[in-house]
Amino acid sequence: MAMARRVPRYVLGSVQRNMSFKSLDPPSSLTHGIHVFHCPDAVGIVAKLSDCIASRGGNILAADVFVPENKQVFYSRSDFVFDPVKWPRVQMEEDFLKLSQTFNAIRSVVRVPALDPKYKIAVLASKQDHCLVDLLHGWQDGRLPVDITCVISNHHRGSNTHVIRFLERHGIPYHCLCTSKENKREGEILQLIQNTDFLVLARYMQILSGNFLRSYGNDIINIHHGLLPSFKGGNPSKQAFEAGVKLIGATSHYVTEELDAGPIIEQMVERVSHRDNLQSFVQKSENLEKQCLSKAIRSYCELRVLPYEEKRTVVF
């Protein structure tokens, strides 16, 4: 139920040229890189991208291209391998910068997971633990390529709870900032999340103000326990149950000033029937929420999510 960040962000359109291989695991002597590109459409972009990588001894393993119909805009994401001795990281940055200048790129980002720092995130959560616990275990198991700087909550958790014991064992700070209608403690939250790359709202049931979003300035990813744009706001499971739906879902999206209306990153669904009650609706929804949020975070870290128009995303 949270909101945050300005809009321009991000669904898929019409023209796709797709090359992929069964395995993206590079030989031991090579390193894996990712490059995403967003620029005005023009002849020869793919050729120049390929030449940029190949001229330094790199090899493209998979490439996705999206050119929306009648939009004159180009999107691509490339997985490639390279020898860091032959193509140093600094040189790589310079090469892709020249390419972006050639095509007046709106966005050109290169990432080398083995060499670059992991994304630093802070996690905001309220009373419910299921998304937070799943996220923590995903981080512990290495399924989520992030570093968690802290967990912030508006709900007190006792010292003997699973979450607190886990955080203490791994040295992750926990900050309890109880909120009220008059004081959302946003100034204190902003102090705690300095130097993070993005935020994750793991069922944080507070609405973030426009001032907060503008002050933070980076992306904020939220999980909504409903299949947006239906059933916005509070109690979406109850809303869906009373509406007699046959599919329930979860939606991970960017936070904007408009409640539950940010660009969608990931959605998951599960079938329900007349035999389900509200409790089983909620249980199925919670499982979807965990999976959906985890996948959205991975997609973001793997540079799979690109802005498309005002309220859409391209997700490669």
233 closest CA partner among 221, 244, 222, 245? 222
Structural contact between residues 35 and 78, judged by C-beta atoms closer than 8 angstroms: yes
Long-range contacts, stretch 284-287, CB < 8 angstroms, 24+ apart: 284/248, 285/225, 285/226, 285/236, 285/237, 285/248, 285/249, 285/250, 286/128, 286/130, 286/131, 286/225
The H or E element spanning position 305 is: strand 305-308
Integer Cα distance of 2 and 220 in angstroms:
10
Structural contact between residues 224 and 233, judged by C-beta atoms closer than 8 angstroms: no
Integer Cα distance of 294 and 88 in angstroms:
32
241 closest CA partner among 279, 292, 205? 279
Give me the amino acid identity at 266: E
The catalytic residue positions are: 260
